Chains A and B, each alone.
Chain A
């Protein structure tokens, strides 16, 4: 492979293997349980057919991969500043990406790619999904060469003067490194919600597929049921709950390590280079200019451990007409300490945002959530409880729910605030994880204010800032103040013609 990329070229021939494995894996996963069941149900003489089917599957995968390889070419059009990919086995697809629309170039390596010694390269644009490019096999030097070409062009085309002044050094000095010890702490303190979801999904598939297996093996269901109910004593339930919690923590840890192992951030010309991953190393290049919302969050434990999670939200939207919903692509940097956070903020935003004038919501913030999330359900429950004696013993639980709920809503009310100064808008919110979202007024795409008629007399209203990476809400504020802020932001956005991306 040459390093010029100006002529159409194929990827590395090893791509066939990677693609074939990918396809075979996909087919295999789709038929996995069918195959297992077929194995169990069939007698020995059918084994031949099954093996034949497997061989056929492999053959199809390879054929598919070969065709895909033959048809997949890419080149760099230097005059038009475009990267062009031709692909499609049966239909001819041409993807053209303007270089200045490229948002990220990721170089990854999966296990298989590591064994063969090739890299995968993905181009992420600020466009619709279909426009994304995924090169499956490319050798290391070509990969980095191509990346350089793709991103260098962009830097030349839309030179960001500011970053050029501040960061003239091009050497790769890691700005930040997350050690395994920090990762351990991160794993123990954050992202419980996602792990719970994962665990639920896992158990759901286990139970669902397990049922099919039971049917296949023709095991007596009653027998299983009696053993299960026999096991359910208080002690076993306690052990089960403890085991679940421990599994949850372990899953959390594994996930954190898998994703963020050896996370390193370095400055790379005009952008930030993030690399991390345990088995598959993932490199991501981000231009600070394209970050729309910078957010950091911290919970009670993390505060004690003096660390926080930072995330950068980028624009990722359909340029084309309707139908393409906006998709934020978020980069997470877990476990930085406050000084590292400040360094990163300086790098991304140009300076550390200071607290400006703070606006707090009115007490009416509490009304609706308390009514709909607490009063109404508890009332329904109480009505139910007084009519059905089976539910009566649980009335205490309802009161506990009510009190905890009030407390949580009150905390969220106390945390909900927005702070505004000349350069930044900082929105704070959260109950357990307290997050701060920082957005610069030039990133605002549109502003909505709204008010209920019954709040007119008390001058209370709501604000929503639309950005390319999501919305920022401020509820139940003083409407006169909100209107003033909106006028001020409109002035800021409209008086200069600054690029938001």
Chain B
């Protein structure tokens, strides 16, 4: 129980480190290019589908202008939303926890204490490899919702973060096993 390590009232909550004031690191600007390429691929496929429909089905042809209009509005909206979400992303590694901020409309911040991390995964996609980026996944016992997916970190940095976290995990686990035995 934490009772022995601190006596409550003595702690001034105001003086505790504030997670909300930490300077967050933005994803690498190349990651925006990856998002754009992905979006363009999806939009391109959609455009091909729409074109086939317009060319081959006579009933749809009169509405072609409408469809093209909707398509462009959707495309612009998608780009704006992804841009907004890209701008909002940020991560920070503190000595005792990992912070990740994200969100399209709402701004959500998730904090995972290092001593609650179950395992870490480093993923590199095809596009990410071209731009030398990677994404880190941090899993906790809190299920799907309590897991962090930080994308767009330069690969060298991602590797060093992973090693740093793994080191810390080992450091955390060692003393406890010693106490147990």
Instruction: Point out residues on A near B: beta carbons under 8 Å.
Output: 157-159, 162, 315, 317, 319, 321, 325-326, 350, 422-423, 441-442, 444-453, 464, 466-468, 470-471, 483-484, 486-488, 490-501
**What separation, in Å, do the CA atoms of A103 and B101 have in the docked complex?**
34
B23 proximal to A (CB < 8 A): no
Residues of A within 8 Å of B114, CB to CB, are 494
Known: A487-B18, A493-B115. A448 touches B106 (CB 8 A): no
Binary A-proximity of B1-45 (CB < 8 A = 1, otherwise 0)? 111011010010110111110000000000000000000000000
B110 near A448: Cβ-Cβ < 8 Å = yes
At the interface, is chain A mostly helix, strand, loop or mixed?
mixed
B16 near A488: Cβ-Cβ < 8 Å = yes
Of the listed stretches B47-55, B63-71, B137-145, B155-163, name the one at the interface; the rest are far from the partner chain.
B137-145
Residues of B within 8 Å of A471, CB to CB, are 142, 145-146
Known: A445-B112, A466-B142, A471-B145. A495 touches B18 (CB 8 A): no
A8 to chain B, nearest CB (A): 29
B141 near A445: Cβ-Cβ < 8 Å = yes
- The contact of B2 among A444, A498, A500, A501, by CB within 8 Å, is A498
Instruction: Point out residues on B near A: beta carbons under 8 Å.
Output: 1-3, 5-6, 8, 11, 13-14, 16-20, 96-97, 103, 105-116, 118-119, 121, 139-148, 172, 175-176, 180
- The contact of A497 among B16, B17, B143, B176, by CB within 8 Å, is B176
Residues of A within 8 Å of B111, CB to CB, are 446-448, 486, 490
- The contact of A487 among B16, B103, B105, B112, by CB within 8 Å, is B16
B106 near A451: Cβ-Cβ < 8 Å = yes
**What separation, in Å, do the CA atoms of A500 and B14 have in the docked complex?**
27
**What separation, in Å, do the CA atoms of A173 and B116 have in the docked complex?**
36
At the interface, is chain B mostly helix, strand, loop or mixed?
mixed
**What separation, in Å, do the CA atoms of A211 and B105 have in the docked complex?**
50
A464 near B17: Cβ-Cβ < 8 Å = no
* Residue on A nearest B173 in the bound complex, by CB: A497
**What separation, in Å, do the CA atoms of A476 and B155 have in the docked complex?**
38
- The contact of B109 among A448, A452, A491, by CB within 8 Å, is A448
List of 9 A-B pairs having minimum Cβ-Cβ separation, nearest first: A326-B143, A466-B142, A466-B146, A450-B108, A445-B142, A494-B96, A446-B146, A468-B141, A445-B140
* Residue on A nearest B137 in the bound complex, by CB: A322
- The contact of B108 among A321, A442, A449, A499, by CB within 8 Å, is A449
**What separation, in Å, do the CA atoms of A350 and B5 have in the docked complex?**
17
B180 near A483: Cβ-Cβ < 8 Å = no
* Residue on B nearest A487 in the bound complex, by CB: B16
Residues of B within 8 Å of A157, CB to CB, are 180
**What separation, in Å, do the CA atoms of A19 and B69 have in the docked complex?**
64
B140 near A446: Cβ-Cβ < 8 Å = yes
Residues of A within 8 Å of B20, CB to CB, are 483
Residues of B within 8 Å of A423, CB to CB, are 1-3
B1 near A446: Cβ-Cβ < 8 Å = no
B32 to chain A, nearest CB (A): 21
**What separation, in Å, do the CA atoms of A449 and B16 have in the docked complex?**
17
A249 to chain B, nearest CB (A): 36
**What separation, in Å, do the CA atoms of A317 and B111 have in the docked complex?**
20
B172 near A497: Cβ-Cβ < 8 Å = yes
